[in-house]
Amino acid sequence: MSRWAVALPVALALAALTGCGSGTPASTSAASSGGGAAKTLTVFAAASLTGTFTELGTAFEAAHPGTSVKFNFGSSATLAQQITQGAPADVFAAASPATMKTVTDASLAGAPATFARNELEIAVPAGNPAKVDELKDLSDPKVKVALCAPQVPCGAAALKALGAAGLKVTPVTLEQDVKATLTKVELGEVDAALVYRTDVLAAGGEVKGIGFPEAGQAINDYPIAALFNAPAPDMAGRFVDLVLSSRGKDVLAKAGFETP
Amino acid sequence: MSATRTAPRRGSDRGPGTGAVTGRPPWVLLAPALLGLAFLVLPLAGLLIRAPWATLPQRLTEPHVLQALRLSLVTATLATATCLLLGVPLAWLLARVSFPGRRLVRALVTVPLVLPPVVGGVALLLVLGRRGLAGRWLEESFGVTLPFTTAGVVIAEAFVAMPFLVISVEGALRAADQRFEEAAATLGASRWTVFRRVTLPLVSPGVVAGAVLCWARALGEFGATITFAGNFPGTTQTMPLAVYLALETEPEAAIVLSLVLLAVSVLVLAGLRDRWVTGP
């Protein structure tokens, strides 16, 4: 018993230390390993790219033996904040030009390239309980709608689309990201939500997507850039090339993105 | 706990030899201890250093900040009231009634303490959501839906905060002298009267400490709230949610909101002083 009393705090302290290891100290190890045999490429990418970029990362590792691609998926704005605060990233792929601008304005990257476009769709739960057919139906007060918060790209796009249609919608919730918004549809807690077409596709049969003409006026561009302070600069450029290549376009198109 | 508090005094009574040992702690302990202290305090100091003090008053009085703060205070208070109403009897049950599986029940009661709050939120959705086990019935029978309502926020906060109250009150009940209750009972008081007139006053410090902790935990609740109750200004957007969203576009605003929560937390814990730590 007394041995446990000692062992537990020690174990916790070790866990805390190793936990910290994945944070800032990783920057030094990633930077130093850049010239070594085992190379690590660190890609910060918008959460909506999780599926496609994981697939491209595997392809990249196969094409460059001895390299490993590490991803940090999250909200574009959060990732941009992390990069401007000195996070050790090689590549940044954002879900909106605005979040990329945070990074380029801080002179941390050059001109980004647009590699994908995403369009909004109305997502309804399987069975469509509220009988939603078009965007206009979302303004019915009896229909429970979830939108992304205006602070995040999918929310900004939703506002733009609703504005283009001249509609006023009162959502029941403004979710922090597109995945959380979609989850509320999947669980049937809301009758409809405005999310990206790619997310509807990724959700499978649980969710049905309904296209609408105004979505064309709220298309979201995805920019990508290699970062100036990249710990592995040559690899960063090659990864960006892969994303922009026909191979990259295939993977993105399969997931529902438009590619320029 | 009181033993540790008297320990230094006892040490100094023992003479100069042992006094020197207690007075100068070994480096092996002191270095990690100070490191630990810095690890816990430095991030908070960072918040204070980076705070935009010049624009602070103006940012704090912005309508959406006040709205989120008001909602936070109201829901945390309602959640604490709910916890008192349900948690005190539960603590009494655990402390005074012997029943099979009591240890298991006690473990279950504390699960929300260690459960990731997001998981708590998902669990609440699956039970009380529109398609949840109880939620479906609530909607069909009464037309009541809990997600996306202020009541949903209160439920999420109470779920996460109740263990703090139960643990505190149960500890107080176990430490309280049962002879007073027995004396009251022999004098003819009913069990309810004994509980109300003897037990409750006896453990009131524990109840107060538990309620304050419970309130502070409810005030800081984020994961279960955003998962179960969603985020809508004025209805479900509490301070922690406002902090999270402010970070997306306005880091400075997020710092200001965080400062408010930090100040409230420190005030609450300072108010409790050593009551929580030493306990009954």
pLDDT digits (tens, 9 = 90+) for A171-214: 999 998 888 899 999 989 999 999 999 999 988 888 999 999 99
Q: How confident is the model at residue B275 (pLDDT cuts 50, 70, 90)?
A: low
B87 touches chain A (CB under 8 A): no
d(CA B236, CA B64): 12
Say which range, A32-36, A225-229, A252-256, has the weakest mean pLDDT: A32-36
Mean pLDDT computed over B177-188: 91
Work out the mean pLDDT of chain B and round it to a whole number: 87
- To the nearest whole percent, how much of chain B has pLDDT over 90? 64
pLDDT at position B3 over 80: no
Decide: A68 and A219 in contact? Cβ < 8 Å.
no
Average pLDDT of B146-155?
Answer: 95
CB atoms A171 and B232 under 8 Å: yes
Q: Measured between alpha carbons, how far is A243 from A241 in angstroms, rounded to an integer?
A: 5
What is residue B100's predicted lDDT score, i.e. its pLDDT? 94
% of chain A at pLDDT higher than 70 = 85
Beta-carbon separation of B232 and A173 below 8 A: yes
* A2 pLDDT tier (thresholds 50, 70, 90): very low
What does the DSSP 8-state code read for residue A1?
A: -
The amino acid sitting at B39 is F
In chain B, what percentage of residues exceed pLDDT 70? 89
A146 neighbourhood in chain B, CB within 8 Å: 230
In this structure, the number of other CB atoms found within 10 A of the CB of residue B166 comes to: 28
Confidence check: pLDDT of B113 > 60:
yes
Cβ separation A176–B232 shorter than 8 A: no
Per CB-CB distance under 8 Å, the chain B contacts of A130 are: none
Helix (H, G, I), strand (E, B) or coil at A123: strand
B11: pLDDT strictly greater than 50 = no
- pLDDT at site B2: 40
Q: Cα–Cα distances in Å, from B99 out to A31, B23, B86, B93, B110?
A: 60, 48, 19, 9, 18
Instruction: For residues B245 and B250, give the distance between their C-alpha atoms in angstroms, rounded to a whole number.
Output: 8
Confidence of residue A74 (pLDDT cuts 50, 70, 90): confident
Interface contact B64, partner A, CB < 8 A: no
Lowest mean pLDDT among A76-90, B76-90, B211-225, B241-255: B241-255
Residue A77 near residue B248 (C-beta atoms within 8 A): yes
pLDDT above 70: residue A38: no
| Angle, helices B63-96/B239-249, rounded to nearest 10 degrees | 140
3-state secondary structure of A241: helix
Are A247 and A123 spatial neighbours (Cβ–Cβ below 8 Å)?
Answer: no
Identify the residue with better confidence: B27 or B221: B221
Shortest distance, CA B66 to any CA of chain A (angstroms): 18
pLDDT score recorded for residue A29: 40
Predicted confidence (pLDDT) at residue B116 exceeds the cutoff of 60: yes
Residue A16 pLDDT greater than 70, yes or no = no
A interface with B, Cβ–Cβ < 8 A, is: 13, 75, 77-78, 81, 144, 146, 149, 151-152, 171-176, 180, 184, 187-189
Write out the two tokens for B216.
């502070």
Q: Do B226 and A188 touch (CB under 8 A)?
A: no
* Residue B7 pLDDT: 43
Asked if A81's CB is within 8 angstroms of B236's CB, the reply is no
B261 at the A interface (CB within 8 A)? no
Residue range B74-236, CATH number = 1.10.3720.10
| Residue A30 banded pLDDT, cuts 50, 70, 90 | very low
Confidence check: pLDDT of B21 > 60: no
What's the token pair of residue B88?
């005190």
**pLDDT recorded at residue B196:** 92
Q: How far apart are CA B168 and CA B95, in angstroms?
A: 11
pLDDT above 70 (res A217): yes
Cα A75 to Cα A197: distance, rounded to the nearest angstrom: 17
**In this complex, which of A173, A187, A189 lies closest to B231 when CB atoms are compared?**
A173
In this prediction, residues A52-57 reach a mean pLDDT of: 96
- Considering only CA atoms, which of B243, B212, B206, B238 is closest in space to residue B225? B238
First to last CA, chain B: 9
Instruction: Return the pLDDT at A202.
Output: 87
Structure tokens, A235 = 């690899």
